[in-house]
Structure 1
């Protein structure tokens, strides 16, 4: 058995898993605040990656400047989307709002394909070296950057929810919107902030993945790929999102190793997380860290 390949894939799985965990936290952030599952999350990655690529290629911006402009743009885009499209849906049945996010997903993907085309485009060269040696294993610099950013974002999420005024307001809104409003919390502001943070963080993930694999409409599939991580950890658990992301990242790469070395079935990397998702939902319907809903009759 090729142990070096196994360790290489496990290291890649941990790094990619932290990125999945960050995107999964965006799912949880919107769900905890609005009780809505955002099926347009993958399109946030796609739009962020294309915007950053356009700033670097067409506007010739330095990477740091273009990257920061992308994050600011996506925050504004998330707020605008919530105000124009989703705010009028407040008070409507949840299934209606979810269908709106599905419609947004289709519309945004079509709009991006119309503006930028469907062919994949490579990011300009950002780093001087193609690989960095970590414990004797080769890792792309973009993945190391994503690991640092992911850990920073996770720490930021923890501090935001625990110590900041808006973080406490968001937790209160997630617990009970009517009670939060009676305490003087602007629920509309909390909703807009949740979408802004979600769009910005997802764009960061989209840029990193685009730097490694190129930018194309396939990036939007990351939103569906991360969904098993959200369910595995628990739809309302930030910690669960991180754990679920790590599980899915390592599971993908382990499945790829087992398939390549022994099974030779093909495509195990894509389908393995969904198999585990089905099994876990049978055994633990609320995920590993999800809150059980208890209804009294």
Structure 2
């Protein structure tokens, strides 16, 4: 009898921009990094449209994004997944975390939280800690709020966020949390210790949106069978939160590659707010897709 041959599962990658502005060169770089690794691995390449905030993601920006990527010549496999069409998937994951007792509502606004952090700093004489993105860690009272007060405020329809009880979540882990970082050929580079506690009690959903970036991205990666996540270094620290959610929900852990960012003249990463026309301006000036690829090292 001939020996059985076990085929390795096909790699699946995704480029997942949010259409809340026109694409800039940093997006082109990330899309091309995904295309290159998918080609090296002989894998599938998906386009996911991260549009959970519909108010900030109008149809004309989504259409422009798809047009720009098509001009660049990246062979995304259809159909494209729109996050806004799969909110039920995100809610199902949130419900699982709620059933574990790991989620609580908080009713403070961003300005409230900033004022609370400043007050705590004055009380202690030390700066209140920030998360890796520079925002103050949650300093509110949601986790300790009496259940009857929570119920009354929810019944009154007060705006709120649903947060992960980070300490309780970490207490459920049986082993240290890590992820594997790979190189441009998909080969393991190093195992990275994950420290989600640096983010404090992160937001998992808001009353007006029903989910958050962190919860939506791990849900969609799992449901799409993503095996390799290629994205910029600006999301390196967020991977710790994603790995925690994957462990809590029993979801597979992709391999990760965090590539260097393109920086503007001021040394900061490019953003849609100050580089909104970057990609389109080059096209309109007559730059070809091949020339842009060469400019970015592809």
Regarding TM over 0.5, the answer is: no
Short-chain TM bin: under 0.3
Larger relative contact order, structure 1 or 2 (CA cutoff 8 Å, min sep 6): 1
Structure whose CA Rg is larger? 2
Give TM-score scaled by structure 1 length.
0.24
